Structure 1
């Protein structure tokens, strides 16, 4: 197990520091023509044209599932063609013509010239002499900044705007079966997905590791056929601000490629491992068609004893869930909804979900992150349209006080978001979790400010 990142974030700054976008220092590709902006000033996006045109994958719906879903206990173990991808859980390959094509397509004048951060021997970020009092690059790991310092990028998604909503999400999937431990296989996919289906046909947003998709594409197919939403969580789970520009592109590209080959869809969303993101990485992700999604509460479930886990007692994590449920029931949690970081990483994390999901469903309106944001088209393939309240779980609960901090746009917008206070731990093939510090509250925005930011981001996210 690689040690946890330990760094206490300073308070967020309210004075915006504008960063002049410079050409990428790690790219040998010539800059593309200047990118256009939307009427809001946010950089326009377009469908990723550099991905291969795969044949429609077998056994995958052509759109959101409307009939009975498959809850079979086993899945095919056939992998994608491994020769077309980097080695699983190895750094994403950069010396490849497909990566060169992406590099040539990006406008590097719109990528801030933030130097890559240093990584310690254990993979964790070293904070060095970064000026957190100015936070010039909106570096989440140091300051929990979620609002970019450049005006052409939207704010990160980090919480659900409506009080009482719980944006269900899981990192590090799909959970592959073990080659040598049948006990662990009792929790590998499709166990979690079948459990969600059996509990109110619950939907979730899933942040996928590209390496896991290549080695277990049938699980990704099951997830999308069940109506879950697939997002990118990089190829090999590095701290992304420690990567050069071309390494960032490669970590995104191979994951997007694997998801598209396995399922036929191209995600518009990603989550940084450990939350480690700054405006340089955000700008590359945005130009590759993805908005950044963080969280405002942290279960620390990855750190419980389990396969690839840590030593955090089960009762500690259990206590976080008790606290969130109690706060909602006693009326103290009324500012906005939540995106609580959870994982499908191992047997322990799946067990925690199995314990708490029914109670959460009785207390909150549990839905995918996209559903809580009003985003109905999460992919560049427009035939995939998700219904609102897909899980059918928007009934009255113990505390019905509802406050909308950021009203979702009627279009499929990306929201404004509050700052979280959490850090992450380095991940490996055996330990690819995210969070490390105790769960914490988000800072809420005023309604008028948040609404304006939400509308701005919504316009940008779906402008093209």
Structure 2
């Protein structure tokens, strides 16, 4: 999947130290140039560092300065954007139409016809550009058994404590996911929104320090084919510069929001130094119900996706590896990923999306050289798998012989942090390697045992909605009576459906 290329100095009006990639068939690719000087960041590595990694309890929340308004399409008339705009060979940018946003602000892709002249992914899932001078998108792990781990929309910022959902979301904001991955020495390709990086640059630095590959996900997360050429340049430029300012690296990779890309957008991104990365499997985790982002997809449906991929891998029916779309968007998406990763590790070779595609240098800074996948499915996670198995037998995981009894296998959803668990239904939050994570127990042991008795179900009937308990239809709304999570859209907590 690597493009055969050579690095040479490119000395024209752009800058004397810019690098150019040339091939026999692809358009010359120029490293991004920043018209204004970017200070060298501190507290960040200058080359790839393998794990294991230290975890951190908190991160500095000081934002970057000197950037456009966050979460809005940047102005196109700034000197910086105009410099980049004028460096692009517009004769090599296909004249695909600017797509339309509906009056209500939503985006629904149209069609360019059966010939699909602009390789419009949103309509046809096309990943091989019709413009012969552009490389194909990266969208799968070529080798069977590889699981290409990616997360969009990060870094996950903490929300203001004035928000009603802050206590629910903030425990899952960074560094939560990066700590989790660091403890397991796992790496992901992270597709960052520039606005999120500017607001939380310390999280981006932690990700780079922990061996993740950083890629661009635009500045404000708008569908790219709905933007003018100048707006596309502005979105990509400020997304690149945010990562460069925070971490010191200049990504060669990007992913379009919603996968919305055609050859017009691809050419602009390629000429700005980045190759397009998509996916071949989608968790749709972004659509799970969450007070911060909304959503309607039952978590059990997402669970089903993960289980189906595991089943297919075990059955030998997958033709390639999987490059999956996940998000570090809210507590639901992060929790879901934490729950499934140990199970995926026992079945797949979990690596970053760039690693499984043989991309060893994801930045224009050549001092970063990452490992690449050898295609084997050998993992170092058998200890985790055995721990889960032994928990099922004895309620005492071998990885931690000190888990607390009282919740294992009861599906009461009341297991505090450190309690033994068989499945997620045993815990207030999640079951990881045979132990609940989430909030700690502030009650006495005897009080905890009392709450796991059947009195919960009778007491709940007076304060929950009847008609769902024991039906196992997965349709119980928040507040419905339940005996297990199979009764609920989300999860059964102490006899009542909810988050």
Shorter-chain TM band: 0.7 to 0.9
CA contact (8 A) 1:259 1:265 kept: yes
2:285 to 278, 283, 301: 301
The structure that has the greater radius of gyration is 2
Q: How does 1:180-199 map to 2 (within 5 A)?
A: 180=161, 181-199=166-184
Q: How does 1:123-202 map to 2 (within 5 A)?
A: 123-128=105-110, 130-180=111-161, 181-199=166-184, 201-202=185-186
Q: How far does residue 52 in structure 1 lie from its aligned partner after superposition?
A: 3.7
User: Cα deviations across residues 273-315 of structure 1 (Å, max 9, x unaligned)?
Assistant: 0110000000000000000000000100000012204010010
CA contact (8 A) 2:52 2:183 kept: no
Q: Kindly indicate whether residue 364 of structure 2 is the aligned counterpart of residue 364 of structure 1.
A: no
Equivalent residue, structure 2, for 1:56: 40
2-structure distance, mates of 1:387, 1:127: 37
2-structure distance, mates of 1:390, 1:225: 23
2-structure distance, mates of 1:276, 1:66: 33
Q: Kindly indicate whether residue 49 of structure 2 is the aligned counterpart of residue 65 of structure 1.
A: yes
CA contact (8 A) 1:367 1:393 kept: no
User: Would the alpha carbon gap of residues 211 and 382 (structure 1) be closer, same or farther in structure 2, given more than 3 Å must change?
Assistant: same
- The CA RMSD over aligned residues, in Å, is 2.0
2:103 to 109, 115, 121: 121
Q: How far does residue 95 in structure 1 lie from its aligned partner after superposition?
A: 2.1
Q: How does 1:25-424 map to 2 (within 5 A)?
A: 38-50=22-34, 52-66=36-50, 69-81=53-65, 84-128=66-110, 130-180=111-161, 181-199=166-184, 201-306=185-290, 307-333=292-318, 335-389=319-373, 394-395=378-379
Instruction: Give the gaps of 5 or more residues in structure 1.
Output: 1-35, 399-464
Q: Give the TM-score, by structure 1 length.
A: 0.74
Q: How far does residue 70 in structure 1 lie from its aligned partner after superposition?
A: 3.1
1-structure distance, mates of 2:21, 2:349: 36
1-structure distance, mates of 2:173, 2:35: 29
Q: How far does residue 123 in structure 1 lie from its aligned partner after superposition?
A: 3.5
Q: Give the TM-score, by structure 2 length.
A: 0.69
2-structure distance, mates of 1:245, 1:48: 17
**Between Structure 1 and Structure 2, how many residues are aligned?**
358
1-structure distance, mates of 2:21, 2:360: 23
Q: How far does residue 392 in structure 1 lie from its aligned partner after superposition?
A: 11
2-structure distance, mates of 1:250, 1:135: 27
RCO higher in structure (CA 8 A, sep ≥6): 1
Q: How far does residue 374 in structure 1 lie from its aligned partner after superposition?
A: 1.0
2-structure distance, mates of 1:169, 1:292: 14
Q: How far does residue 65 in structure 1 lie from its aligned partner after superposition?
A: 1.5
Q: How far does residue 38 in structure 1 lie from its aligned partner after superposition?
A: 3.8
User: Would the alpha carbon gap of residues 240 and 108 (structure 1) be closer, same or farther in structure 2, given more than 3 Å must change?
Assistant: same
2-structure distance, mates of 1:44, 1:137: 20
User: Would the alpha carbon gap of residues 79 and 391 (structure 1) be closer, same or farther in structure 2, given more than 3 Å must change?
Assistant: farther
1-structure distance, mates of 2:262, 2:31: 23
CA contact (8 A) 2:358 2:373 kept: no
CA contact (8 A) 1:78 1:217 kept: yes
CA contact (8 A) 1:203 1:390 kept: no
1-structure distance, mates of 2:62, 2:293: 24
